Amino acid sequence: MIRYKTKEEIEIMIEGGKRHSEILRALKEMIEPGMSTLILEEEALRLIKAHGDKSAFLGYTPAGAHRPFPASLCVSINDEIVHGIPNEAARILNDGDIVSIDLGLIHKGLITDAAITVAVGTIDDESKTLLKITEEALEAGIREAVPGNHIGDIGAAISEVVEPTGFTLAEDLAGHGVGHAVHEDPFVPNFGIRGVEEELLPGMVIAIEPMVNVGKAGIKVAKDGYTIKTRDGSRSAHFEHTVAITEDGHIVLTR
């Protein structure tokens, strides 16, 4: 069931999204070769708490998981697509890596979800293209997120950006409704047919999140039970925004 948000709830999410984007920007600025992913986790938690907010991921147990997620931030490096655990991996970022940081923020009880993928030092041309295409795919999806369009329009626009490049959209992973919970209806796939699936209506709030692999679309779950990686070991990028559908268009809450 889709939980439409009231104007008052969207006002809260606008403030939450602003805080959210400021935290991601601050984390991005910190990223440099030689840094432990644990530093990113600690700084994320500090910034979240400094404003009286909470992480939506810390302690969250998604459907099918056997234990709660142990961190406030997902940090996924190179062939890791999503849900990498920063404080268990004890990993160091190396020059040439790409790292995705994904944050769920709870502000006054309402959740926003957003992710960026960042270059660590100097990255190769293929990785640069990967980041550019993934971000373009997100923007193409966002442009379709207006009242009267359908969920299928978003996925169609995303796949139309990615498919001609030879990169692939990671299988089985999709965007989602968000707000009262991390994952709400509707399911927002990164592929689709124009004009089909749920109609977008004012009050819907969705996370749009293309995850793009250099190689094949196949995925696998790592031994930690959370980190999702490309099956062929190729690199993957992830960009995500939380978008509220309004009467006359949309607001990108986490811009």
Pick the piece of the chain touching Mg ion (CB under 5 A) from 29-37, 54-62, 106-114, 150-158.
Answer: 106-114
Residue pair 175/194 in contact (Cβ under 8 Å)? The answer is no
One of 120, 130, 131, 207 touching Mg ion (CB under 5 A): 207
DSSP states of 161-181:
HHGGGT-EEPTT--EEE-SSS
CA–CA dist 149, 123 (Å, integer): 37
Closest approach of Mg ion to the CB of residue 164, in Å:
25
Report, in Å, the least distance between residue 252 CB and Mg ion. Answer: 14
26/181 with CB nearer Mg ion: 181
Least Cβ distance, residue 115 to Mg ion (angstroms): 7
Beta carbon nearer to Mg ion, 35 or 189: 189
Q: If you write DSSP's letter for every residue of 61-79 in order, what string do you get?
A: --TT-SS----SEEEEETT
Query: What is the C-alpha to C-alpha distance for residues 125 and 171, in angstroms, rounded to an integer?
Result: 24
CA-wise closest residue to 112 among 175, 28, 162: 175
d(CA 30, CA 87): 17
Residue span 111-130 as binding mask against Mg ion, x where in contact by CB under 5 A, dash where not:
--x-----------------
Closest to Mg ion by CB, 28 or 194: 28
Of 75 and 94, nearer to Mg ion (C-beta) is 75
CB of 65 to Mg ion, least distance (A): 15
- Total residues in contact with Mg ion, by rule CB under 5 A: 2
8 A C-beta contact, residue 240 and residue 102: yes
C-alpha span between 18 and 31 (Å, rounded): 21
What DSSP state is assigned to residue 111? E
Q: What is the smallest separation between the CB atom of 178 and Mg ion, expressed in angstroms? A: 7
Site for Mg ion in 143-172 (CB under 5 A): none
Residue whose CB is less far from Mg ion, 53 or 240:
240
Which residues bind to Mg ion, rule: CB under 5 A? 113, 207
